[in-house]
Amino acid sequence: MTLPTTPVPPAPGAVTPTIVLVGHGMAGQRFLEALAERGTTRRARVVVLCEEPRPAYDRVRLTSYFSGTTPDGLALADEQFLSRHGIELHLGDPAAAVDLERRTVTSRSGRTLAYDALVMATGSFPFVPPVPGRDSAGCFVYRTIEDVLAIEEYAGNSCRTGAVVGGGLLGLEAAGALRGLGLDTRVVEFSDRLMALQVDAGGGRVLRRTVEQTGLRVHTGVAAERIVADERGAVKSMALSDGSRVETDLVVFSAGVRPRDRLARECGLSVGERGGITVDARCRTSDPHVFAIGECARAADGNVYGLVAPGYEMAECAADAVAERFAGNGPSARDGAPRTFGGADTSTKLKLLGVGVASFGDAHGTAEGSMDVVYSDSRAGVYKKLVVAPDGTLLGGVLVGDAEEYGTLRSLTGSVPPVPPESLILPAGADGPGKGLGPAALPDGTIVCNCHHVDKGAVRAAVSDLGCTDVAAVKKCTKAGTGCGSCLKVLGQVVDAELEVNGVPVDSGLCGCFAHTRAELYEIVRTLRLTTFGALLDTHGREEARQGDGCEVCKPAVASVIASLAPAIGAEGHVLDGEQAALQDTNDHFLANLQRNGSYSVVPRVPGGEITPEKLITVGEVARDYGLYTKITGGQRIDMFGARVDQLPGIWARLVEAGFESGHAYGKALRTVKSCVGSTWCRYGVLDSVRMAVELELRYRGLRAPHKLKSAVSGCARECAEAMSKDFGVIATASGWNLYVGGNGGATPRHADLLAQDLSDGDLVRLTDRFLMFYIRTADRLERTSAWLERIEGGLDHVRDVVVHDSLGLCDELEALMAGHVANYQDEWAATLADPEKLARFVSFVNAPGVPDPSVQFVTEREQVKPDLTLLSGPDIPVRTTDAALEGTAAR
């Protein structure tokens, strides 16, 4: 199969050179992107031979297939990338032979290509130990999407148990996948601990306990000796080296990988003793026209790297070398010296089965005279070890269970930290994590961005000498932070610190009380598990604001942060619980919307706008009995106006009894999920939009956010529900749901952007979970999704990377946060009615609870009441045109 291509314009007066790439994996794709960046794809014909039946995908995230990511969702390049750059891709047609002499490569299907440059990116293959019976049906490896699909299909064949041979990183991933398929799963590891390469014995113990708590069974210090098959040749059990035998219906081998260098060996390229195509620092092999990158290459330092970051770096080096060769007379491909690859930092941070694991530098303390500083709390599943040289230099470390400080610690590796090492790993509360570890403490030579090898001095110079005033400019200027992105936090701190040194005001603080942004406060509350505003203000407020009362800006903002994190940090769940009651704007405080005369309006939830006649009658009766003005809202609900504070409990007692819940019209929270009538009734509808709208509204009801959230679901492309103007909108198509985000009506309308399409019900909900939680986590106060999407670095693409492709490894956590919200949801009004203490606040006067507020009076207009403003005896009510003025108005 060949993807459509566009012809390459030949270079004037020259024969177009041909570059052949063998292998379209992650390193291969990065090489193509790097070539395109350098303009080489315009000057040369680029042909790719790929063994797998699909274009490059994110192998690192293979396991996310089992949590709902589709194979397409793992794709690394957008559909147009190849055609845009005129790259020919031949899928399912691997290179079979190379003739170095004649400079040709022949594919399995017999295609012969003459090349000017050949790049090998054949990757590696899983090592399957020579265990008898390993060819039985039900034995798999875990490397490609095809492997994953095969495992899934076989497991669906009435398998109940599974075993993974190998307890390394990939083995645990595979075990998590089997568990996700519902198999009772065990892991068999030959060495004495899990992830032996990355963690030490202590970390291994903590990791094992945590992994076992997730329901996996772990055997260490034993080998698989024999796979036993039944009469049909299918796996039945496995004999272990300790003499035991475990029943299993399926076996996955994940005992390491080996470089795929057969093609190179056969054509006569030099390979290392223990495998891997030998290359120099510019990724050139023993043949001047052949390059090798990624896991098939043995780098200049003699190592074969099985990690993606070194693969990417090699791809860039090879692209430099190849581009240089075909630069012609045009502008040089790239400024500066060509990139070289001498070796890589194998530091890793990942989330395995929900456990944060990181190792960096000399994790095992192999350096002469090195010493350990260890913090271990097996009860909490946390293990942290730092390896320190006699002179105090931080050499490396291992983090299990809490890898938050990875970025800072890795930056400090190789230097003497400015604070005692133990304070770097003590938990929050003791001395605070990383206390005294401001970016100013880092020496200039500290590498901030490992992907692009940018040190702190270069970042400082970009700010001070080149005039960069924000992270975006520094990224452009130095490339720092444009790789994996894991250094962005530290980078931001360094940039701000330098700006501060230069006297550039960078007060992005939330208000006069906090120098932090809302997103930063969110992280502080989340990681330190602060459950009160007071604790946050007194520890993280501006010096002059500590012990004070906060203000009307930060109190509701922090209340919202605490509310949206409540299940995760163990805060009280109700917005009127404890101290939280003092933080809420009046609307939240009385769970109703304040109107201009001091009365309130009431909006019960009507999920999806679907309401029974009985409920309609109840609303009518309540409004009639309390003399309320009623109006249909734009969000398919009914708003009842003119209730006094002391009437709210009585009104809600009747509404709750009739089955209504709070509609959160008063909160910075999900409002309504509007819907059209959908395929049930509509002759055009393709999917049941009402059902989906109700489902989404019930899922996200009560979710506190930086601003209100609106949504809609349309049952077909006619878009009657106006989903494109919502924070998240859903439109049905014949092949599934399309999810749009960042839409807005109001004063600055914005059409929503397509985030993902053709989604199943499950995928739609999962993506929406992630999107909303990522927004809640990173948005500013009162920043709607539309403004957030415009502001956030990288825009929609970045958000898509994070929530669809899990580029930050956050998705599990985002989903868990949402699961916590869903599980802990309670109707705020029902809970209030059941709590005499909360209820007691609903009086007009504290000292005269039975007396109604005499200033709240009404007159009649068009057969309904309206506020009698003449009673308020003040000057004309001024109209302030700020956003703040809008907050007190009715829910729109």
Partner 1 sequence: MTQTAPCDTPPAEAAPSPGARPPRSGTAAQGSTPARPSARTGPADSVAHLVEVYDGAGWAAVCRLDVLVPGRGVAALLPCGTQAAVFRDRAGHVHVIGNRDPFTGAYVLSRGLIGSAGGMPFVSSPLLKHRFDLRTGRCLDDPETSVPVFRSRTR
* Helix residue spans in 429-553 (DSSP H): 456-464, 471-478, 488-501, 518-528, 533-540
Q: Could you tell me the smallest distance in angstroms from the CB atom of residue 557 to partner 1? A: 11
Of all helices (H) and strands (E), which one includes residue 851?
A: none
Q: Pattern of binders to partner 1 over 544-563, x per CB under 8 A?
A: xx-xxxxxx--xx-------
- Closest listed residue to residue 463, CA positions, set 447, 449, 478, 448: 478
| Span near partner 1 by CB under 8 A; candidates 193-201, 254-262, 594-602, 606-614 | 594-602
Tokens (6 digits) for 876: 């004309």
Q: Which residue spans within 285-377 are E strands per DSSP?
A: 290-292, 297-298, 348-352, 355-361, 371-377
Rg (CA), the chain: 31
Closer of 290 and 645 to partner 1 (Cβ): 645
Which positions from 447 through 486 interact with partner 1, judged by CB under 8 A?
Answer: none
Interface with partner 1 includes 518 (CB under 8 A)? Answer: no
368 three-class SS: coil
Interface with partner 1 includes 513 (CB under 8 A)? Answer: yes
Closer of 616 and 884 to partner 1 (Cβ): 884
Interface with partner 1 includes 590 (CB under 8 A)? Answer: yes
Question: Helix, strand, coil shares of the chain as percentages rounded to 5?
Answer: 35, 20, 45
Q: Could you tell me the smallest distance in angstroms from the CB atom of residue 584 to partner 1? A: 8
- Report the residue from 2, 158, 329, 873 that binds partner 1 according to the rule CB under 8 A: 873
Q: Beta strands 447-449 and 394-400: pairing type?
A: unpaired
Q: Could you tell me the smallest distance in angstroms from the CB atom of residue 780 to partner 1? A: 18
CA dist list (Å): 849 to 79, 586, 589, 727, 845? 67, 19, 17, 41, 5
DSSP 8-state symbol, 591: T
Closer of 80 and 870 to partner 1 (Cβ): 870
Q: How far apart are CA 18 and CA 16, in angstroms?
A: 7
Which positions from 626 through 655 interact with partner 1, judged by CB under 8 A?
Answer: 649
DSSP 8-state symbol, 679: T
| Span near partner 1 by CB under 8 A; candidates 14-22, 495-503, 673-681, 836-844 | 836-844
* Number of other CB atoms surrounding residue 438 within 10 Å: 12
Q: Beta strands 161-165 and 290-292: pairing type?
A: unpaired
Tokens (6 digits) for 859: 């007159």
- Report the residue from 854, 861, 862, 863 that binds partner 1 according to the rule CB under 8 A: 854
- Report the residue from 203, 365, 433, 534 that binds partner 1 according to the rule CB under 8 A: 534
Do 136 and 229 meet the contact criterion of CB atoms below 8 Å apart?
A: yes
Backbone angles phi, psi at 632, to 5 degrees: -80, 130
Of all helices (H) and strands (E), which one includes residue 266?
A: helix 262-267
Contacts of 828 (CB under 8 A, 6+ apart): 574, 575, 576, 591, 662, 664, 702
Interface with partner 1 includes 885 (CB under 8 A)? Answer: yes
Do 779 and 523 meet the contact criterion of CB atoms below 8 Å apart?
A: no
Q: Could you tell me the smallest distance in angstroms from the CB atom of residue 505 to partner 1? A: 19
Closer of 733 and 857 to partner 1 (Cβ): 857
- Report the residue from 848, 861, 862, 863 that binds partner 1 according to the rule CB under 8 A: 848
Closer of 380 and 877 to partner 1 (Cβ): 877
Q: How far apart are CA 781 and CA 519, in angstroms?
A: 8
Interface with partner 1 includes 844 (CB under 8 A)? Answer: yes
Closer of 577 and 610 to partner 1 (Cβ): 577
Closer of 160 and 546 to partner 1 (Cβ): 546
Interface with partner 1 includes 586 (CB under 8 A)? Answer: yes
Which positions from 417 through 436 interact with partner 1, judged by CB under 8 A?
Answer: none
Q: Could you tell me the smallest distance in angstroms from the CB atom of residue 784 to partner 1? A: 19
Closer of 336 and 878 to partner 1 (Cβ): 878
Interface with partner 1 includes 579 (CB under 8 A)? Answer: yes
CA dist list (Å): 735 to 312, 739, 761? 35, 13, 11
| Span near partner 1 by CB under 8 A; candidates 90-98, 473-481, 579-587, 769-777 | 579-587
Interface with partner 1 includes 872 (CB under 8 A)? Answer: yes
Interface with partner 1 includes 594 (CB under 8 A)? Answer: yes
Q: How far apart are CA 417 and CA 436, in angstroms?
A: 10
CA dist list (Å): 236 to 152, 231, 597, 891? 17, 10, 76, 63
Interface with partner 1 includes 581 (CB under 8 A)? Answer: yes
Q: Could you tell me the smallest distance in angstroms from the CB atom of residue 595 to partner 1? A: 9
Q: Could you tell me the smallest distance in angstroms from the CB atom of residue 500 to partner 1? A: 22
* Number of other CB atoms surrounding residue 211 within 10 Å: 24
* Number of other CB atoms surrounding residue 40 within 10 Å: 27
Contacts of 368 (CB under 8 A, 6+ apart): none
Closer of 248 and 599 to partner 1 (Cβ): 599
Interface with partner 1 includes 840 (CB under 8 A)? Answer: yes
Closer of 137 and 839 to partner 1 (Cβ): 839
Contacts of 465 (CB under 8 A, 6+ apart): none
Which positions from 382 through 421 interact with partner 1, judged by CB under 8 A?
Answer: none
- Report the residue from 596, 718, 751, 791 that binds partner 1 according to the rule CB under 8 A: 596
* Cα dihedral sign, 78-84-87-90: positive
Contacts of 683 (CB under 8 A, 6+ apart): none
- Report the residue from 2, 158, 329, 847 that binds partner 1 according to the rule CB under 8 A: 847
Which positions from 711 through 740 interact with partner 1, judged by CB under 8 A?
Answer: none
| Span near partner 1 by CB under 8 A; candidates 247-255, 309-317, 469-477, 853-861 | 853-861
Q: How far apart are CA 56 and CA 48, in angstroms?
A: 11
Closer of 549 and 797 to partner 1 (Cβ): 549
Closer of 191 and 855 to partner 1 (Cβ): 855
Q: Beta strands 297-298 and 277-278: pairing type?
A: parallel
Query: b/e per residue, 301-323, with b = 16+ CB within 10 A?
Result: eeebbbbbbbbbbbbbbbbbbbb
Interface with partner 1 includes 881 (CB under 8 A)? Answer: no
Which positions from 271 through 300 interact with partner 1, judged by CB under 8 A?
Answer: none
| Span near partner 1 by CB under 8 A; candidates 33-41, 358-366, 684-692, 872-880 | 872-880
Interface with partner 1 includes 855 (CB under 8 A)? Answer: yes
Closer of 381 and 650 to partner 1 (Cβ): 650
Type of residue at 350: L
Q: Could you tell me the smallest distance in angstroms from the CB atom of residue 756 to partner 1? A: 39
Interface with partner 1 includes 515 (CB under 8 A)? Answer: no
Q: How far apart are CA 672 and CA 663, in angstroms?
A: 8
- Report the residue from 101, 846, 862, 863 that binds partner 1 according to the rule CB under 8 A: 846
Question: Which burial class, exposed, middle or buried, applies to 560 when counting CB atoms under 10 A from its CB (0-12, 13-18, 19+)?
Answer: buried
| Span near partner 1 by CB under 8 A; candidates 83-91, 686-694, 777-785, 843-851 | 843-851
Interface with partner 1 includes 583 (CB under 8 A)? Answer: yes
Q: Could you tell me the smallest distance in angstroms from the CB atom of residue 596 to partner 1? A: 6
What value, to the nearest 5°, has the Cα angle with vertex 31 and ends 17 and 492? Answer: 140
Give, rounded to a whole angstrom, the gap between the first and last alpha carbons of the chain: 53
Interface with partner 1 includes 857 (CB under 8 A)? Answer: yes
Interface with partner 1 includes 888 (CB under 8 A)? Answer: yes
**Contacts with partner 1: how many residues (CB under 8 A)?**
61
Interface with partner 1 includes 849 (CB under 8 A)? Answer: yes
- Binding residues vs partner 1 (CB under 8 A): 512-513, 534, 544-545, 547-552, 555-556, 579, 581-583, 585-587, 589-590, 594, 596-598, 649, 836-837, 839-851, 853-855, 857, 869-875, 877-878, 880, 882, 884-885, 887-888
